[in-house]
Chains A and B, each alone.
Chain A
Amino acid sequence: QVQLVQSGAEVKKPGASVKVSCKASGYIFTDYFLHWVRQAPGQGLEWMGWLNPNSGGTNYAQKFQGRVTMTRDTSISTAYLELTSLRCDDTALYYCAREAHHYDLWSGSYVATYYFDNWGQGTLVTVSS
């Protein structure tokens, strides 16, 4: 079965960097985009960006551009999220999620829906001085 297993919790000081991993199994790693989503304590879900494991291409949410890098190592089916210049408000659970898609008929045409069908267990990153 599909599994996304993330690395363990991290504690960092403000200004430091963190790198979180997401190891995929149960499917062909390069066939699906991987996204990163974070959730601050008591808050909602926030989309950070996507990684195309096949090409290495990325697309980051504007809020994180300049501070985030998403990479992968296809030899071990693992994706990485690196966030730099950490601030206290970066304290959050960071999830990786696999994106799938589906076509439905809408007004006579087929329209794609993209959704996250599998999620990692989350990695808690705590930023504190």
Chain B
Amino acid sequence: SSEVTQDPAVSVALGQTVRITCQGDSLRSYFVSWYQQKPGQAPVLVIYGNDNRPSGIPDRFSGSSSGNTPSLTITGAQAEDEADYYCDSRDSSGCHVFGTGTKVTVL
């Protein structure tokens, strides 16, 4: 299956804004979901659909899509946002594909 790619790593100064994108010809849906994973922990959903946040996720996390490129933005990054972030999309048969992941470092 085709790959969905993300920048391997990005860094952001404390309090600044960082945007993570998800790219691939095989992106199969209008919207993707985004997951945060900290070392030794299971992934946690941070954004789904058209910029929807689960309960408990800070509003500094937002999602958008321009053309066929979904993105996750952290506005005012905090030290606790340092983690790996993955996008995920699903096709009509229920098959999912995860992006390759982006390591976010907060300086």
Contacts and interface: CB of A to CB of B under 8 A. Distances in A.
A32 interface: no
Contact of A59 (B37, B43, B49, B95): B95
Interface residues of B, number: 30
Interface residues of A, number: 29
A44 B33 contact: no
A108 B70 CA distance: 19
A62 B35 CA distance: 23
Interface of B: 1, 29-33, 35, 37, 42-45, 48-50, 52, 54, 84, 86, 88, 90, 93-101
A61 B95 CA distance: 7
Contact of A106 (B50, B52, B90): B50
Nearest to A122: B42
